[in-house]
Chain A
Amino acid sequence: EPEVTQTPSHQVTQMGQEVILRCVPISNHLYFYWYRQILGQKVEFLVSFYNNEISEKSEIFDDQFSVERPDGSNFTLKIRSTKLEDSAMYFCASSLTVSNQPQHFGDGTRLSIL
């Protein structure tokens, strides 16, 4: 069964440093997403991406965050200057379409900011 893959599985970074999280969505999917889950809390939407543009973003997704699909397969989330509160599990997801279609999640990157 095709799956969403994410790298790295765990990233440890000093506060203030830039970090890039990588995702390879399911190959025929057209919509891509990033979510985060702070330990012990619910999964929160960050951003959705379609046709090389951001479709929707939450209030969490401020100017420190950016997404891109540089090469047609990878989908990346960049955090420019990390803060302690950015420590969380970051999940990438993809879906074939957006209407009534479930989103399929990767196994996540655990980001730890020191």
Chain B
Amino acid sequence: RKEVEQDPGPFNVPEGATVAFNCTYSNSASQSFFWYRQDCRKEPKLLMSVYSSGNEDGRFTAQLNRASQYISLLIRDSKLSDSATYLCVVNQAGTALIFGKGTTLSVSS
């Protein structure tokens, strides 16, 4: 099974900053794409699905480039509560979700 790769972290940013995470996936047959967030020792929680046309949810914008097999997440106006590990997740046409290792974000005041 092929991999999902993410930016190495950690990202340390001040409140109010804009931060971008990148992710690449190696299986061109991948069909569904998601960003999850995971707080320390907690379960992954869905942040947003990623659609081919790109999509936005408040301060969060996700983009997908199928040709480059690349997914991104942009967080605007970072809050202290955004501090977490962000997981790039791909479904490769089966039922299994394939997770990246995650990128840790730390937002400071």
Contact = CB atoms under 8 A, between A and B. Distances in A.
Interface in B17-50: 31-32, 34, 38, 41-46, 49
Interface stretch (A14-22, A62-70, A79-87, A95-103): A95-103
B95 A104 contact: no
Contacts, number: 56
Nearest to A98: B95
B99 A91 contact: no
A45 B44 CA distance: 13
A105 B1 CA distance: 22
Interface in A24-56: 31, 33, 35, 41-45, 48, 50, 55-56
B98 interface: yes
B94 A56 contact: yes
Contact of B95 (A44, A48, A91, A108): A48
Interface in B86-107: 87, 91, 94-102
A48 B96 CA distance: 7
B31 A100 contact: yes
A55 B45 contact: no
Contact of B46 (A44, A98, A104): A104
A58 B100 contact: no
B42 A43 contact: no
Interface string A88-114: 010100000011111111111000000
Given A43-B44, A91-B44, A107-B43, A100 B32 contact: yes
Contacts of B1: 58
B45 A105 contact: yes
Interface of B: 1, 31-32, 34, 38, 41-46, 49, 87, 91, 94-102
9 contacts: A33-B95, A42-B87, A91-B44, A99-B31, A100-B32, A101-B32, A102-B49, A105-B44, A105-B45
